[in-house]
Amino acid sequence: MIYDNITDRDVMAELATKMTNRGFDPQRVTMSSVSGNIPAPANAGYSCNTIYGDSALLQPLSALTSAIAGGKFGVPQGLSGSTLGCGGTLSSSLPSLKTGHPPRTVVDVHASIGSDRYPAASQEATFANNYYNQLWNFVQIRLSGQAHKVVLGETGPVDNYGCSPYPYQWADAWVNGPGGGYVSSTLFQNDKANVVLRPWLSTAYQNGWCTLYPNVLNPPYKVN
C-alpha cells in the first residue's frame, strides 16, 4: 500500500520513517509488480515502449513506478500493436495518489518468464533475454546510477504438468539459452551482483501436493 485514501495516511512515508529509524535505506520500501499477464509478442525478441517510456513488457512495473512518484497510473488507453501493447495515452480518467515519493531502490518484479508463451525452448530463451534486457534499460533510466537491487520471481518451473504447464528444461533455457536467456542479457552483463532470481515453485495445485516441500533444487533447476 502506498497511500490510504480512507484514513488519509501516507503509508509509504510512515514505513520509510521506520526504515530510517532502524538504519535502513528508506527508498527500499516498495512492492512488487506482476508481468505474467503481458501478452507475448509474436516475435520473442520484439519490444516497444508505452507512454510511460519503458518497454511494454514492463507495463505493470512502469505503472507502479508512476503511482509511487505521484503520477497517473493504470493501463494506457489506445495501445497499438496486435499482441504487445505499444504507445497509448494516460487519460484524465486514470487515478493518481495525493503525494509522490522518490524512486525505489529495490525493483521487485514477478517476471513470470516461463508462462508457456512459446512452444520451443529457444523462443523462451529469446523472450527471457529480451525481458531482462528491457529490465536493465529500466534500471538505467529510472535509477540513474543509484545503488539498487533487482529481485525477480517466477523463474523456476517444476517437472509436473499438473502443477506447471512447462517442463523444467525451460528453466535452463531462460537462464542459459540456447541463443539467449539471462546470462546473455545486458542485465546479467552489467548488473549481476545486484540481481536475485528467486525460484517460485508450486507445492500444491488442484489435486494435492505436487513437489517436495521444502523444494530441493538441482541443476538444471529440477525438483527431485
Write the pLDDT tens digit of every residue in 9-26. Answer: 999 999 999 999 999 999
Which uninterrupted H or E stretch holds 66?
helix 59-69
d(CA 139, CA 132): 11
Residues 6+ apart with CB under 8 A from 95: 72, 73, 74
Say which DSSP state 204 is in: B
Backbone angles phi, psi at 54, to 5 degrees: -110, 175
- pTM of the complete model: 0.84
pLDDT of 224: 38
The torsion region of residue 137 among left (phi > 0), alpha (psi -120 to 50) and beta comes to alpha
Nearest to 117 by CA among 57, 51, 59: 57
Judge whether residue 216 has pLDDT over 80: no
Q: All 3 cell numbers of residue 193?
A: 551482483
Judge whether residue 121 has pLDDT over 90: no
Say which DSSP state 39 is in: P
pLDDT in tens, 41-81: 889 999 999 999 999 999 999 999 999 999 999 989 988 87
pLDDT of 217: 57
